[in-house]
Each structure stands twice: as C-alpha cells, then as structure tokens.
Amino acid sequence: MDQTTEVFRPLQADDPAAVAGYRPAARLGAGGMGRVYLSHTRGGRPVALKVVRPELADDPDFRRRFRREVTAARRVRGAYTAELIDADPDGSPPWLATVYVPGPSLADAVARRGPLPVAAVLWLMAGVAEALQAIHAEGVVHRDLKPSNVLLAADGPRVIDFGIALAADGTSYTATGSTIGTPAFMAPEQATGGEVTAATDVFALGQTAAFAALGRPLYGEGPGVNVLYRIVHSEPDLSLLPEPLRPLFAWC
C-alpha cells in the first residue's frame, strides 16, 4: 500500500470513522491491499494507518499470510525503516499502523523535480541498503521495493511496507495478477516465479536507485509483460547512468 506523505487528501463518505480506536484524519494514498490514512495514537503520535480491502479481508489464506508477515515485521528495527507500531491482522478489517514519515515518496520527488544528482543517489542507496540489512536480519524479504515505497525524510530515506507484500501473494490483487511485485523493479527470479530471497531486494535496490538517477526505470517503460521480458532476457544498459554509479549498479 503506497504511502504519499506530501499531499493530504480529504476523507470520503466510504472512509471509516475509526479503526480500532484510530481515527483517520486524511487520506495519504492507496494500493492493491487497501487505503492509507493519516491518524494518531492516543498520545498524539502521527501514524500511517493502513486498512486492508474487504475482498482481501474475506480471504482466509490472505489473513494467514498477513498475520505471519505482521509478526515478522514487528521485529524489524532500523534507522531507515518506518517502524510497525501497532496492528491487528485478525481485525475486521485487518489493519496496521506504522510511524508516519513526513516527506514525499521517491516516485513523487522524481516526478516533480526530475532525477537526483549523483551525491543524492549515493545517499539514497546507503540508507535503503541499511534498511534492507535490518529487514533481512529478521528473515523478512520486502518483495516490492520500489520508488513509491521509499519516503524521503529530512534525515534520510525510509523504507515502508516491508514484509507485507508477501501477504497478497497468490491472490488476484497483486500488481501483475499472479506474481507479487511491480514489473519495472522485479528481479528475474521473481518475474519467473522462482525462489525469492534477500538478493531479490538487492536487485530492486539497484532498479530503484537507477530510477532516481535517470528519472525512469532502467529497463524502460511500457506494458508490464514487455518490461519483465527485458529483465529476464537482457542486460541493462549501464552506460545510461552517470559514470560514478556504474560499478555499484553492476553489483546490484
């Protein structure tokens, strides 16, 4: 569920008045799993409240996966992650609350201001790599790292929605219809339905950073099936990237 933190959207008639004591104050965004709201804890701490879509909530397999991933995500602590602070995978509807990060997503920042300079891309890669290290240390694989899941706070990037993507795997509500992820940022083994490991997230880190440097996906744009074919069957053209970044991207 992508979180957009720079623009608050007004609540609509079909938005909940409250979820387990959390009162939505504004919409932050939406995604395949549900809607994201700005809310607050009872002590006034701002949170991103993510509420699962009814179609998914009615799926017992989804609830089982969601419960497992929430349990794992609770253990993740890191300076560059948006910490999970509360959740109820058995609620009606299921929901979770993470630390609210005041800042735009990388996707929004690039759309509005264009590609990042080399120094900023290196800063971004270092922060996201540290976030992935904390995530992987708890046995969690993100599976859907992409520019809209990286928020740009004043003190560094924050990775959101780690571990939660797996809960939607195997349902009809995934980004590609059968495989969890976003085509332009998926690793070859993910695109072909192979084993997903921490290396999958490292590949996505490279693609996300390339997007930051170029203002577009490294493997190009177009229909998802075409992008996935290029990822699986071709090598990226690293000459498109600024020269200082090429060795890092070759590693990713």
Q: Where are the domains of the chain?
A: 26-99, 106-251
Do residues 181 and 200 make contact, with C-beta atoms less than 8 angstroms apart?
no
Indicate whether 172 pLDDT > 60: no
Indicate whether 53 pLDDT > 80: yes
pLDDT of residue 168: 52
Just list the catalytic residues. Answer: 144
Q: Is 36 helix (H, G, I), strand (E, B) or coil?
A: strand
User: Does an H or E element contain 212, and which?
Assistant: helix 198-214
> What is the percent of the chain with per-residue pLDDT over 90, rounded to a whole number?
65
Confidence (pTM): 0.86
Is the peptide bond preceding residue 183 cis, with omega within 30 degrees of 0?
Answer: no
Residue 112: CB atoms within 10 Å: 9
R_g (Cα) of the chain, nearest Å? 17
Q: What's the chain's average pLDDT?
A: 87
User: Does an H or E element contain 147, and which?
Assistant: none
- Confidence label for 186 from pLDDT (cuts 50, 70 and 90): very high
- Confidence label for 180 from pLDDT (cuts 50, 70 and 90): low
> pLDDT for 135-150, tens place per residue?
999 888 898 999 999 9
Same fold, 26-99 and 106-251: no
Closest CA to 118 of 185, 214, 37, 186: 214
Domain 106-251 classified CATH 1.10.1530.10? no
Protein fold of 26-99: Phosphorylase Kinase; domain 1 (3.30.200)
